[in-house]
Chain A
Amino acid sequence: MNVARLIVSLAAGLVFGFGLALSGMLDPSRVRGFLDVTGPWDPSLAFVLGGAVLVAAVGMLIVRAMSRPVLDDRFHLPPTRPVDRRLVSGSAIFGIGWGMAGLCPGPAIAGMAVGLPASMIFLAAMILGMAAHDLTKPNVAAPVAI
């Protein structure tokens, strides 16, 4: 057990969750408004993705110049694999659910802080869906996050 890594994980989660709260991503009506291009489209959430990718890309430049992360002996990045059917069908299914509810995993977890019953129903179903995948397809679960 590495305490420094635990503290970094906690701090990264905190900054991530604060960013979600500030950005408007916790509000399903805003998210669905962003996706509602045939209705009264609200483009403001595009700035969330833009800002996040911009800062993360600068982070990637720094990471590329590092031989290893500060608190580990190597970077745990997903292996380079071709686009396959699992990736596309999984992402398609994910998008349908995201459009229905206006919630994705980060906001669903962070939203526990506010604790609306409707968010909790989504969260419970999401965990069930994740577990259903990992129980029925245990061998294909990637060892890293992406």
Chain B
Amino acid sequence: MTIADFLPSLLGGMAIGLAAAMLLALNGRVAGVSGIVSGLWRRTDTGPMTSLAFVIGLVLGPVLFLAVFGTFPKIEIGTPLWLLALGGLLVGYGSRLGSGCTSGHGVIGLARLSPRSMAAVATFLTTAVATVAAMRAAGLS
């Protein structure tokens, strides 16, 4: 592995951390994507507009990447469509049942040293690794 392999990942991760820090320091809100997205239909104290603004910004992020680098980031999907649909259902349902996903628990939760988030991250990393291994064994990936 060379620097070129992990430097964009490190810098991209730092941008994600910066976004989370600024949302908390300025608006007092946690940048958990599943929670924010569900704010589009749930009754919350802020109403749906701040959720909508964040979601629009999130979609514009890759557009900014396109403007800077002249190309969209590479996206390669090898998973069969029926597994993508099943995966989407599980990700959506599980993130709401578990009160957070990779951003809320994985970034803010870990940065706050929250025991709940540490348990959540350990759990979803374990089941994700096991799922990928099972799919490899079954010839599905």
Give residues of chain A (27-42) contacting chain B, Cβ–Cβ below 8 Å: 27-30, 32, 35-39
CB-contact partner of B119 in A70, A88, A123, A128, under 8 A: A88
A: interface residue count bin: 35 or more
Q: Please report the number of residue pairs spanning A and B whose Cβ atoms sit closer than 8 angstroms.
A: 524
Q: Is the CB of A94 within 8 A of B20?
A: no
**B42-64 to A contact mask, C-beta < 8 Å, 1/0:** 10111101110111111111111
Q: Is the CB of B20 within 8 A of A14?
A: no
Q: Is the CB of A35 within 8 A of B129?
A: yes
CB-contact partner of A37 in B6, B49, B129, under 8 A: B129
Q: Is the CB of A133 within 8 A of B97?
A: yes
Q: Is the CB of B98 within 8 A of A90?
A: yes
Q: Is the CB of A110 within 8 A of B25?
A: no
Residues of A within 8 A of B112 (CB): 60, 77
B: interface residue count bin: 35 or more
> With A69-B26, A141-B42, A142-B99 in contact, is A22–B91 under 8 Å at CB?
no
Q: Is the CB of A146 within 8 A of B105?
A: yes
CB-contact partner of A68 in B28, B37, B74, under 8 A: B28
Residues of A within 8 A of B12 (CB): 18-25, 48, 51
Q: Is the CB of A60 within 8 A of B111?
A: yes
Question: Chain A: which residue is nearest B51 at the CB level?
Answer: A9
Question: Chain A: which residue is nearest B32 at the CB level?
Answer: A145
Q: Is the CB of B96 within 8 A of A134?
A: yes
Q: How far is the CB of A46 from chain B (nearest CB, A)?
A: 8
Q: Is the CB of B90 within 8 A of A129?
A: yes
Determine which residue in B12, B42, B66, B115 has the highest number of CB atoms from chain A within 10 A of its CB, and name it: B12
CB-contact partner of A36 in B93, B99, B132, under 8 A: B132
Q: Is the CB of B21 within 8 A of A109?
A: no
Other A-B pairs beyond A24-B8, A32-B79, A32-B141, 16, CB < 8 Å: A35-B131, A52-B16, A63-B21, A78-B114, A87-B116, A90-B97, A91-B119, A92-B98, A94-B90, A97-B87, A97-B88, A105-B95, A110-B58, A110-B62, A111-B75, A130-B93
Q: Which residues of B contact A (CB under 8 A)?
A: 1, 5-6, 8-39, 41-42, 44-47, 49-51, 53-66, 72-79, 81, 83-112, 114-117, 119-121, 123-133, 135-136, 141
Of all A-B residue pairs in the complex, the 10 with the closest CB atoms, nearest first, are: A17-B61, A13-B57, A59-B21, A129-B92, A90-B98, A23-B12, A145-B35, A125-B88, A51-B13, A55-B17
